[in-house]
Each structure stands twice: as C-alpha cells, then as structure tokens.
Chains A and B, each alone.
Chain A
Amino acid sequence: MERKQSWGYLVFTLPLCTLFFIFYIIPVVNSFYYSLFDWNGISSKMRFIGLTNYRELFQDQDYFHSLSFTFRFAFFNVLVVNVLGMLMALWANSKLRCRNFLRASVFMPNVLSAVVVGFLWSFIFIQVNTTLYEMSGWAVFSQSLLSHKGNVFWAVLIVTGWQSVGYCMVIYMAGLNSIDPSLYESASVDGATGLEKFYHITLPMIMPSVTINLFMVISSSFRNFDVNFSLTRGGPGRASMALALDIFHETFNRNRFGYGTAKAIVLLLTVMVITVLQVRYTRGKEVEHD
C-alpha cells in the first residue's frame, strides 16, 4: 500500500521535476561552462581560458563597488521592508473601518510593472521635488536624489521598498490571522501590556512568516534588476550599479559573455549560501502550534 502511494507521488511530481531540471539545472550548468571561455556572444569562436574570468573578478574594483552597493542595499531593504510590512500588517489587521482600503492601497504598488514604477518615481524625484522645494523651502526637497552619487542609493531603496512592502504585509497578515486569539485573552487576564503581548506571543507565533519574508526579500534584493534599470540605469556613472545590472551591462553592453556569466555564477552562489543560512536560523526559532 505504501509503495503504491510513493509511486503515485513520483509520477505527479515528475513533470515539475523535469521542467525544473530543463529550465533551471541545465542552464546553470551551461552558464558555468560558458564562464570558462572568453566569448563576445556573437561569433561562433570561443576561446577556452579556464578560471581566468574568476581571477579577474576578484581584482575588479568596479565589481567590488557593485558588491558593496548590493550588500548595503540588501541589508537596508530587508530591514525597512520587514519592519514596515509588520507595522502595516498590525495596522491593517486592527478594527479600523478603512482597513480594506488600507490593504488594497499598500499592496497596489506590487502589481505595477517596474518600467512604470521607474518612470513614475523619476518624475517625482525630479519634477515634483523641485516644485515642492519652491513652494515650501524645506531642505529635504532640495537634494537631487537621482543625480548625486551619494543620494541615488536612497532613491533605489525608497522605490524598491515602496513596491515590496505590500507583499510582506500580506504574508504577515496571513501569519497574524493564524494565531489563536485565546492566547491573547489569557495574556490579558495575566495582565500583559500590548508590547509584552507582541514580543512574547505574536513574534514567536509568526516566525514561519518571518522565515518566508526574510528569504524572499533577501533573495530578491540581490536579484533586483528591473527597478534599478528603469530608475537609474546604474547611474550617475556607476554609482547605483547593483550586481544584477552589472552582469547585464557586462554581457550585453560590453559584449563579454564569459566574464559576465562568471559574475552571475558568483552571485548565484552568494545568494544560495546566505539564504540557506538564514532559513536554518529562523526555522530553528519557529514555535509549533499545539
């Protein structure tokens, strides 16, 4: 009886596994193969150079700049999106009358296409900011966010965060709804304050949601491309060239397929290591429901 069941499982997962193998595993292996060559992506001649691309990578100053930009971006993005997402979820879960409207409006940016988002925020940062400064004279509006290399980091962070908060909020809301309200009642009877309730009941019980959210935001922060591309194109100069955009620029604009693919493999390994460690850590903190 049990053997028949496991055969059944295999048959049903086989299509998906095949697809996963063809469209994910094989391209990754192929990419590693291409990263050992010196190839401009056009001609049919490829020159085998072994691990030279990887050696060049570790000495490339521009690559380290992109690396540090992406790590800083990932750190702040994870922090901001998760904290704001959690706050939004708590707020949207409360007894407010407008909570449906709140949920819809916070989630809406998530469904917009990145090109539209980039265009919209370019307009805001350039035209709207200038007008607001002329009207109010506040210094916060006088900074040009897209043309100073120090500020462009915050521009990309704001726009990506704005888009991702809704998604995090929805996942946290699902987590909050699954907590048994009797826990809160018994805590009130024992005289716990709101903050204590949050720290001792809510937080441990939504750890699965935290795992999911952290995983998703970390991996998408490292892979962030479309907003970066449509908002700044890596500019000004190379100030906002995150890793994914750098790979695109290297392979398609500078015609260095081998080198760009090597960068992509390194990015893949980095993201894999970080997310595996993160999931292990937060999984360990999850509390089982009774």
Chain B
Amino acid sequence: MKRITILAFTMVIALVFSACNSSSGTVSQGAEAISATETKTPQTITWIQYQTEFTDGVNSLTERYMELNPNVTINVNIDGNNYWETFKAMLGANDIPEIFMTMGYTQVKAYNEYMTDLSDQPFVDGLLDMAKPAISMDGKVWAFPYNISGEGIIYNKKIFSENGWSVPQNSTELEALCKEMKAKGIVPFTNQFKDDWLLAQLMSGAGHAYESDIQAHNQALMEGKTTFSDSESMKRFNDILDFLIEYGQEDPLSYGWNEAASSFALGKTAMMYEGDWMWSSLAAITPDMDAGMFPFLSSEDTGTCKMIVDVNGMWHVGRDTKGQQAALDLLNWVYSDPEAKEIVLNKFLVIPTFKGWEYTGSNKLAMDVVELIKQDKTFIWPSSQWVAGFYPAVGKIYQDYLTGTISKEQILPNLDKFWNEMMSTGE
C-alpha cells in the first residue's frame, strides 16, 4: 500500500514538472510550415509585439504571407502586459527576435545595437515625411512605421452643437469658451490625472511641444545647454495646469483611464485631453458617440497651435539574426503587395504612414487627426525623445504639485533635477 502511494506521488510530481514546461500565458501563435514542395531553405521569423488591438491584423498578415511562402514559419507573440520584460529577457538570453517593436526616438538609440539598418529598403521611399523623424537616427532609417496617432483635446460634438459652440482656434478662444461653459453649468474638462503617464503626455503636448524646435531643444537639454526652468513654454504650462484644474471636474486625482472614459462618454463633461486611441473605450460605453479632436491650444497665435501627432508603432528587424533576410522580405511585402495593404488598412484600422494610403476606419477622432496631417498642423512627439527613465518621473512630479507636496515654483527645478539624474546614469 505504501509503495503504491509513493509511486503515485512520484508520478504526480513528474506530471507537474512536465506541465511547468509549457508556454506561459501569452497569446502565442505557432504555425507549421506547409509541406515543402519548394526547394528554398526553411526560414523562421520570431515576431514579438505589444498593442493587442492589432492581434487580428498581425495574424491575418502573417497567415497570408505563410500561405504565399510555405518555407517561412512565423512565430507571433503578442503580449500586451509584459512585452518589455519578455523582450529584455530575450535580449539577455541572446535570442534576438527577427521582428520587434519600440516607440522610436530614444528607444531607437537605446536598442540600436540589436537593430538592422533599413535605409536601403524599398519601402522607405513610400513613407510620409512626417513619419521619418521617429524612425531615424544618424541619418539612417531603423524601422518600418505602421501607425500614426495624435493626442489633443477630444470634444463632445453633441454638447458643442446643442450650445452653438464652434471649435476654438487659439488659447484666448479656449479660455472664453470654458468660461461660457462654466456659466451654463457644464463642466469643461475631464482631467485623467490619476494616471501619471497622462500628465507626462499633457506636459509634452501642451508645454514642451510649443518649443520652437523640439528636437533641437531635447538635444540641448541632453547636452546641458538649457534647462526646463529656462523654457517659456514650460513655465506657461504650469499656468495651463492650473487652468485645467479650475475648469475641470472635482477630484481629478481619482480619475484613471476607466473613470475618465465613462465621465466623458456619458456626457458629464464637454472635453478631455487624450489620444485618438481612446475611441474604442468611448465607443464601447456610448455606441453613438459623436466626438472630434482639436490640438491643445497653448498659444494665442492660431498659426502656432498644432497637435502632437507621430508614429505610434514601428517594426524593427533584429540584427544578424538567422531569419533577418526573411523578415526584410516580409516587411517589404507588407508595403508593396496590394493584398497586404488591404489587410493593413482594413484590419489594423490605423492612420497609415505611407503616401497615398487612405484611412478607412470608423474612429472619428482619427479622421480629425488625418485632416490635421493634411493641413500640416502637427508637432513631432516630444516624450519619446526624452532621456530614458525621465518619462515615468515627470507625471509623478506634477502629481506631487497637485497634492500640495511641492509648490508651483519647485516644479521646474524638480524636472531639471530628475533630468540630470537620468542623464548621469549609465547608457
């Protein structure tokens, strides 16, 4: 009897160990290569990405490509929550994926030793000019951008039309509009200030973006030639923050993504500062949501007021990986093949990065962003150019101001202090 128990125990333990070997809980799509009637050598591409909203699109692209090229196997790993940890672990194990994602600018620099130079690839000529800064470094192209996003003020068209209001064009008109709203008992803004990343984005879109040359300013900050405390637009942003608090809802520090989305979608406020990606949350709450977007107006001069719009998703090819050429062929196919273009436009539903490609989705916010791109009323995205490690600290500094831990005068010196701290840590 005792022997049987011990035997049973050993088997259970053996089973547990074999179960532990199976893949972790991420969406993983392994595909078998169709029987090779081809004489080409079999190739494997490992593709890792976040942005789970494109799961369907990526799978459609890879399945179609594998049908056309039976010798290629593409292993797709779409991980919304642990992408960076998984990716860094793969790099640490010297298992560089063939295709991976970043947000561009400083991340292109940080991970550059793992990227292939794509400047000579055919797709580069088809790119929109505004898509090039995020993917370039030292005059070379390092990524295939596929998605553009904008961030600004989302407004409720229904509330605007009911009250006969038109979209303001500069900061003076915005202030007047907010005063009118408050007089009528409508709360102007939903402030999503529980999320510190939103405060960082707000600072970048309403303050930092209004520097006359963002890339030069960031470069000067990195070289120590200027500071945030010297910047007029950053000082102005402190006043803008007070303005938003005054004309915003009660208790902004309790409002994270979900609370802000419900507050705006249920018509409790007329406007909110967010990106066009917010549309899916808004439409889920109010299916017949009628909203649009305009830039955050930080200047009295209409001509200067622009929205931050930039590449929000790009694919890099791993350097010196076994499937490197196959990955390059795949990306060029996505650009050149009409079927692939169909998939990108209709399944990804992104604002396209190539000349002549039209936006086909139902995201009303994205439609306004496309208009702004056509009118050339866009800034490049400042926050992706900040030194690594600065982005998470920024929002928390502004939250400290909002809770009264630090005073208004201490905000910019604190920003400078953190910037210098992040600059001095190793590369």
Contacts and interface: CB of A to CB of B under 8 A. Distances in A.
Interface of A: 38-47, 122, 125-126, 144, 146-149, 233-239, 249, 252-256, 258-259
A150 to B, nearest CB: 9
Taking residues whose C-beta sits less than 8 angstroms from the other chain, chain B's interface range is 20 to 34
Interface centre among B251, B393, B402, B425 (most CB of A within 10 A): B425
A43 B396 contact: no
Give the 8 A-B residue pairs with the shortest CB-CB distance, closest first: A147-B253, A237-B400, A237-B399, A254-B389, A253-B392, A38-B426, A147-B254, A236-B399
Contacts of A144: 251, 253-254
Contact of A126 (B259, B403, B427): B259
Contacts of A238: 396, 400
B284 interface: no
Contacts of A148: 403
Contact of B110 (A42, A47, A125, A233): A42
Contacts of A126: 254, 259
Main secondary structure of the interface of B (DSSP, over half): helix
B128 interface: no
A233 B193 CA distance: 13
B223 interface: no
A122 B397 CA distance: 22
Contacts of A236: 194, 253, 399-400, 402-403
A206 to B, nearest CB: 31
Interface string B378-403: 00000000001101110011011011
Nearest to A130: B251
Contacts of B196: 233, 235, 237
A46 B110 CA distance: 14
Given A43-B427, A239-B403, 19 more contacts: A38-B425, A40-B388, A40-B389, A42-B91, A46-B426, A47-B426, A126-B259, A144-B251, A147-B252, A149-B404, A233-B196, A235-B196, A235-B399, A236-B194, A236-B402, A254-B392, A254-B393, A254-B422, A255-B425
Contacts of B392: 249, 253-254
A149 B405 contact: yes
A253 B85 contact: no
Contacts of A149: 403-405
B396 A235 contact: yes
B70 interface: no
